[in-house]
A and B are shown apart, each in its own frame.
Chain A
Amino acid sequence: MPESPLDRELGQLLAYHDEPDSSEFVANVMHDVKRERLLRRVILWGFGLVGALFGLAGAAMLSDSITRLFTFSISLPAIETAQVALVVVAAAAFYSWFMNDEMSLGS
């Protein structure tokens, strides 16, 4: 871009003259990145654990109904069965999507 003598002079004057030492800076950035990853992992697993606990509590409260459902001692209409299956599949898909990042972080 510089064309005129002034542009050339400014180009020389304003060029980056120093190359700052990189090793300490890069180490600091990577330290921050590791801390960030750890924080994300803690948050994901923390919320995952809370969700699992609530799920277990809910399952315990509904254990009788669930047992009857899986032993076919109650009969749900086809549409309701389809809805339940859809909810289970959606929940599983959401969980694997949500935890996918964490799974790759752990590898």
Chain B
Amino acid sequence: MTISDSELVLRVTSSNDQVAFQQLVERHQAAIRGFLRRLAAGDCGTADDLAQETFLMAYRKLHTFKSSGSLLSWLHTIAYRQFLQHTRKHARQQVMAEPPDQGHDPRQSMDSEILAQRLLGFVSPEERACLTLAYSAGMSHPEIGKVTGFPLGTVKSHIQRGKQKLQRWLKDHDHSISKHKEAHGA
């Protein structure tokens, strides 16, 4: 029997149940690390450090979590804020904003995950966050608005602009998923 997130949260907040918190981390770590890896454009070390900070912050603030909402959305919100804080601190290093070479075709010798990470390098960090939440995490536009703090209209325009950029790239490179899979024998 799977214990719900709300039940696990209750156990952590009421009796500091570490096993319950560990279960929450195990359950959601893949989504949060995946999200941050996309935001960090494939910088896995930075993404995992931020994910670790995200879960530690969640542990500190778990008593403020409202059980009416989704824990995963709440964790994404913390992760996004951690990412923004990190980019502000390391603005000069341009960890995530490094634009890829326009003439470079990221399909060459890459698996699907790296291709996705590189592709997202063609869009702005805000567009990247919105596209990842929409297409990778499967969130609705209002949910994305809650996570990122953007108004609904801004979320929609970020997604639209990001889609146009990716569509342009796909068109320019005559790319399709089936071709990519064929090329890699997937």
Contact = CB atoms under 8 A, between A and B. Distances in A.
Given A9-B177, A10-B131, A32-B56, A26 B167 contact: no
B30 A20 contact: yes
Contacts of B125: none
Contacts of B26: 22, 26
Contacts of B55: 29, 32-33
A104 B48 CA distance: 31
Given A1-B138, A9-B170, A33-B21, A14 B52 contact: no
A29 B113 contact: no
B18 interface: yes
A2 interface: yes
Interface string A1-29: 11000110111111111111010011011
B134 A25 contact: no
Main DSSP-derived SS at the A contact region = helix
B121 interface: no
B26 to A, nearest CB: 6
A13 B177 contact: yes
B31 to A, nearest CB: 7
Interface in A29-51: 29-30, 32-34, 36-37
Interface residues of A, number: 30
Interface of A: 1-2, 6-7, 9-20, 22, 25-26, 28-30, 32-34, 36-37, 104-105, 107
Given A12-B177, A26-B29, 5 more contacts: A13-B135, A20-B37, A25-B25, A26-B26, A104-B16
Interface of B: 15-16, 18, 21-22, 25-26, 29-31, 33-34, 37-38, 44, 48, 51-52, 55-56, 59-60, 111-113, 115-116, 119-120, 131-132, 134-136, 138, 140-141, 163, 166-167, 170, 176-177, 180
